[in-house]
Every structure is written in structure tokens, then in C-alpha cells.
Amino acid sequence: MFARQSLVKLPTDMLDDTKATLKTMGVEFLGVVEDDPIFQNVRLPECLRLNLDGIDCRQQHSFFTFTSLLDEKDRKRFRIHESRIFYDYSAYMFTERRFGLSVDYVKRGVVVVTVIDGNDGLEIFRSTSLSFDMSSIFWQCYCRQATDRATQEAKKWLFERYPEWENPASYW
């Protein structure tokens, strides 16, 4: 278990499901930071901690920071993106789901959609590769249709095994 953290700043810009999930995990929202309204003060429970991702562009450009909230098993449960560019001073946060989809165009005319388990980062299912006609003037339409079919197949596989897979709080 992590030691209880006192005040931490999180972005005020987050989807409703992100805030609801944080609340169910015991995050206490304490109000907007007075001199920096894109952030709010929160108190994290023992089961969550902030972690700077391996991508810290501040060292090179002083523009972007990527941070995660990890659970007690060091799994990324939430992602935070912060931009400090003068014309785009912003920060937002979103929830990581246990299972995700990755689309890959492995070679000319083939689409593969993979189901990734966020618990360990392993591929647990690959949809059947779908070919489309690259020589046609409508190849972009065929590509979109192939991607949609492969995505539907992967989602069907997920719904059969994990009916609540789209719920960010499920299956961790």
C-alpha cells in the first residue's frame, strides 16, 4: 500500500465518468486551485499515487508533461496530459480501461485489431485480418469498412467474455 498523500493537483478538465470513478475509489475533491483554475486540489486515497510517465517533454521543450495515477499494483488507471504552451495552457485527465483496442495496418490491404489487457499490457485477442482492395479508387472506404469489421469482431469477443469491459472501474 502507498502512504496517504496529502494535497495533489489534478486537472479540472475530465469526463464525468472519470470524476465518478475517482470518487468511487476514494478521491476527495477539495476545490479549484485559486491561482491556477485548470487544476483542482484533491486528496488521494492510499490505493492511488501520481507517477510521471517515461515521457517528460519538459526536459527538452518545457511544453508537455504526461502523468499517470497508478493503483496499488502499479497499473495505470488514469492518464493526465498537461500543456504549458502559451497559446495552449491546458490540462485534462481521462480514465484507462482494463481492456483496450489497438488498430494496426500490418501490411498493404490488411487491418488487424488487437485487444490489449491493461493489467499486464499483453495482447489477449486479435481479430481476423481483413483485406481490402488497395487498387480501387475507393480504397479509403474499403479501409474504413475493414477497420469497422475488425473492430466489431474484437468488441464482440470482449462483450462475450467481459460484458462490462467499457466500464472503467470493472475487471481490475
Task: Please determine, for residue 135, whether its predicted confidence score (pLDDT) is greater than 70.
Answer: no
- pLDDT category at 34 given cuts 50, 70, 90 is very high
pLDDT at position 133 is: 64
Cell of 60: 527538452
Query: Residue 80 burial (CB < 10 Å; 0-12/13-18/19+)?
Result: buried
- pLDDT category at 89 given cuts 50, 70, 90 is confident
Highest mean pLDDT: which of 80-94, 97-111, 129-143?
80-94
Count of alpha carbons within 13 angstroms of residue 72, beta-carbon side: 9
Q: If you average pLDDT over every residue of the chain, what do you get?
A: 83
CA distance 129 to 139: 16
DSSP-derived secondary structure for the chain? -PPPP-EEEEESEE-HHHHHHHHHTTPEEEEE-TT-TTEEEEE--TT-EEEE-S--THHHHSSEEEEEEE-TT--EEEEEEEEEETTEEEEEEEEPPSEEEEEEEEETTEEEEEEEETTTTEEEEEPPPEE--TTSTTHHHHHHHHHHHHHHHHHHHHHHH-TTTTSTTS--
- pLDDT category at 41 given cuts 50, 70, 90 is very high
Domain spans of the chain, in order of start? 7-95, 99-161
pLDDT at position 55 is: 52
> What's the chain's Rg over C-alpha atoms?
19
